[in-house]
Amino acid sequence: MAAKERVMQVLRGEQARRIRFTVPTKTAGAVTINRVSFETVAAAIQAGKIKVTPQPTFRAGVGAEYHGWAITGASSGELLIPPIFGREQEGLVAHECTHAFFDLTKSGIGAPEEEAICYVVDALYFRMTGLTTQRWNNEPHATAKAVADGLLRQYAKGDVPVPTVGEKEWLGLVLAVMLNPTYLFPAPGSTQTPAGLFGGVLGGPTSYSHDG
């Protein structure tokens, strides 16, 4: 199956349809992620607004990437994905497609909170598909797992259609993102790490490109 069709399969699959939560962000207010979020990205890919590009390797700490700037052949951005062999790669695709959603909707959310939301998405995906914890127990995944477990408990109770992540748990996950080396230090050839603790220092960016 071609990479584009495989991504669409993830976005319109059972797990993406089940994922739903709200987080109390400081930069964009209450943000909700649900099946509509993933369908928005799927529709953009189908329409050619987002280009899907297979890439065999990534830098350390990175499993896939979304670039929010327009490139040749796409008006919104580019999704770089590894070969999708199973649940681990599927979850990483769901993570990056959440970035694409924020780009498509021109969100004003700050980079650390955006990353934290994406980690909640992949943690829910991993938990729903039964991926062995040992395969994704590094940070910020470990902190995101605790958040996802709390959401899954709320799903099981069924008290509210879309559960909200607790403020304490949310702030803990955002901090875990900001302190993670992947976001704390620049990638080779880059001087910007907006999701890290030093994002915005010396006038640098505090959010990712969200130009729709």
Q: Are 68 and 77 in contact (CB under 8 A)?
A: yes
Q: Is the pLDDT of residue 173 over 70?
A: yes
Note whether residue 94 is domain-resident.
yes
Q: Provide the domain limits for residue 71.
A: 3-203
Residue 57's pLDDT is 78
State pLDDT tens for residues 17-44.
999 999 999 999 999 999 999 999 999 9
Note whether residue 189 is domain-resident.
yes
H or E element at residue 66: strand 65-67
Note whether residue 102 is domain-resident.
yes
Over residues 40-68, the mean pLDDT reads 89
Residue 21's pLDDT is 98
Q: Is the pLDDT of residue 191 over 60?
A: no
Note whether residue 208 is domain-resident.
no
Q: Are 32 and 21 in contact (CB under 8 A)?
A: yes
Note whether residue 158 is domain-resident.
yes
Note whether residue 185 is domain-resident.
yes
Number of folded domains that form the chain? 1
Residue 143's pLDDT is 98
Note whether residue 209 is domain-resident.
no
Does pTM surpass 0.85? yes
Q: List Cβ neighbours of 116 (8 Å cut-off, separation of 6 or more).
A: 23, 140, 144, 170, 173, 174, 176, 177
Q: Is the pLDDT of residue 200 over 90?
A: no
Mean of pLDDT over the chain: 93
